[in-house]
A and B are shown apart, each in its own frame.
Chain A
């Protein structure tokens, strides 16, 4: 049985002009331990798909199943990492990381012990007592990842987690994430608009069409050896995946909007 099943998920929003169907028909099967990247043009509803997988958002039609059970709300097996980290500014790093455990009624000593282990795992040892405002964007995102890992989820849902970071930080965070993921290979759904990032991290890339009524236009298996390193990016295979993805995402658009080269 697949770990996550999207069964003809439709997502619509109410706007002042009436109801807009953002995601038209999203179907996918995701196996346990797979690292899935979802890419698509902005506004295609890829984040909404993730919200539906977490149960934060109810699909207008269709269903999401986790281990065969329909998702009805946020649940114990899943944890989310947000684009803006969404830390609580009044709490220290370790207390932010312990938040999920606190909500589950884990005792203070135990949850702080777990939190400190994870703070260490994400490379923030020594910053346990810092406030989020004292951290850089990359560090804040590490805290967000540690907080998600602290509840030991089976599924990690990541909503453009490195989208707000500069290119260099972004890449090193990606490698960092792979290092952590190699430990226990959780199932990951990773939403991004970065093609390179998607290829570098994922086992499969789901490419969505532009909205409204977006759907999966391509499901590309990334057959690159693991554990992956930065060097994988200079290889020929990587370039092939990249041009295929960028054709899918920008190809038609480029043909329409780009002027002929004048050189």
Chain B
């Protein structure tokens, strides 16, 4: 009890000190912008950004664009998880499957997927589908590689134990390999969120009709800095929330680590 109390106090202190540093930066930023110390047309200022955010919300511009980006990300990400986790685990478990898919996946993992984007656009057009596809490809590689690593890290002694107690191949997979691979697999899901968010927005920058990336591209080319920063912050915030949600799940489910 006392330790968890001390722990929550400790984390409260951590949050507080984190806030202080942010506030200091914001105040310094505002002061230097309004005093003319820096050129506010490049850097904008916290107050301008808040104003721009309010405008993006009230004008309905955000409501028009955000759902598309979220949709593209969510579908691409979900497909990558649904296919990537089983595929990665299978690759870790079965040498033959690994031999077939590993070169392809590593190639995919290191290739800047944006290089492939023009092809995706040729195939699926400039709309939503090509973005889902590119998010899928990018997240898939991350998810597969981590799920595979998780399986390969399974303790051989635990497997031997299961075998000694009469576990067949399937029982060994479901009762030993899959649970012991979960922490690394979920870490891969978390990394995948970061990659997916970056990819969907950058892909929209390339070309599109609606979406956060399209807005960023538009404001960027008209040198309208405050909404640009709002959108960048929004993307960061989204990644942060989903990422820390997954981290929370990791911590509560995989307490044995």
Give A contacts to B, CB under 8 Å.
Answer: 54, 56, 74-76, 79-80, 82, 84, 86, 88-90, 99-100, 102-104, 131-133, 147, 151
User: Taking A84-B157, A86-B157, A90-B179 as contacts, is the C-beta distance between A133 and B256 under 8 angstroms?
Assistant: yes
A90 and B164 contacting across the interface, CB-CB below 8 Å: no
B166 and A104 contacting across the interface, CB-CB below 8 Å: yes
Smallest beta-carbon distance A220→chain B, Å: 28
Residues of B within 8 A of A88 (CB): 158, 175-176, 179-180
Q: How far is the CA of A99 from the CA of B157 in the complex (A)?
A: 15
A103 and B160 contacting across the interface, CB-CB below 8 Å: no
- Which of the residues B155, B158, B167, B256 comes within 8 Å of A103, measured between beta carbons? B167
Give 1 or 0 for each of B154-165: 1 = CB within 8 Å of chain A CB. 010110111111
A131 and B161 contacting across the interface, CB-CB below 8 Å: no
Residues of A within 8 A of B254 (CB): 90
A132 and B163 contacting across the interface, CB-CB below 8 Å: no
Q: How far is the CA of A151 from the CA of B166 in the complex (A)?
A: 11
How many cross-chain pairs have Cβ atoms below 8 Å apart between A and B? Answer: 57
Give 26 A-B contacts (CB < 8 Å), ordered by A residue: A74-B166, A76-B166, A79-B164, A82-B157, A82-B164, A84-B157, A86-B155, A86-B158, A86-B160, A88-B158, A88-B175, A88-B179, A88-B180, A89-B256, A90-B179, A99-B162, A99-B165, A99-B175, A100-B166, A103-B165, A103-B167, A131-B255, A131-B256, A132-B256, A133-B256, A151-B165
Of the listed residues B163, B166, B176, the one surrounded by the most CB atoms of chain A closer than 10 A to its CB is B166
Q: Which residue of A lies closest to B257 (CB)?
A: A89
Q: Which residue of B lies closest to A101 (CB)?
A: B165
User: Taking A90-B180, A90-B256, A103-B171 as contacts, is the C-beta distance between A75 and B157 under 8 angstroms?
Assistant: no
Give B contacts to A, CB under 8 Å.
Answer: 155, 157-158, 160-167, 171, 175-176, 179-180, 182, 254-257
B165 and A100 contacting across the interface, CB-CB below 8 Å: yes
Smallest beta-carbon distance A143→chain B, Å: 12
A80 and B180 contacting across the interface, CB-CB below 8 Å: no
Residues of B within 8 A of A82 (CB): 157, 160-161, 164
Smallest beta-carbon distance A213→chain B, Å: 25
Q: How far is the CA of A88 from the CA of B165 in the complex (A)?
A: 13
Q: How far is the CA of A89 from the CA of B175 in the complex (A)?
A: 12
Of the listed residues A76, A82, A104, the one surrounded by the most CB atoms of chain B closer than 10 A to its CB is A82
Q: How far is the CA of A176 from the CA of B182 in the complex (A)?
A: 36
A54 and B166 contacting across the interface, CB-CB below 8 Å: no
Residues of B within 8 A of A54 (CB): 164
B163 and A56 contacting across the interface, CB-CB below 8 Å: yes
Top 9 nearest A-B pairs (CB, nearest first) are A86-B161, A89-B256, A80-B164, A100-B165, A86-B157, A90-B179, A74-B166, A90-B256, A131-B256
- Which of the residues A74, A84, A90 comes within 8 Å of B165, measured between beta carbons? A74
Smallest beta-carbon distance A152→chain B, Å: 13
Since A102-B175, A131-B256 are in contact, a sample of 12 more A-B pairs with Cβ atoms closer than 8 Å, ordered by chain A residue number, is A56-B163, A79-B165, A80-B165, A86-B157, A88-B180, A89-B180, A90-B179, A99-B165, A100-B166, A103-B167, A104-B166, A147-B165
Smallest beta-carbon distance B83→chain A, Å: 25
Of the listed residues A54, A56, A89, the one surrounded by the most CB atoms of chain B closer than 10 A to its CB is A89
Of the listed residues A80, A103, A104, A147, the one surrounded by the most CB atoms of chain B closer than 10 A to its CB is A103
Q: How far is the CA of A56 from the CA of B162 in the complex (A)?
A: 11
A80 and B256 contacting across the interface, CB-CB below 8 Å: no
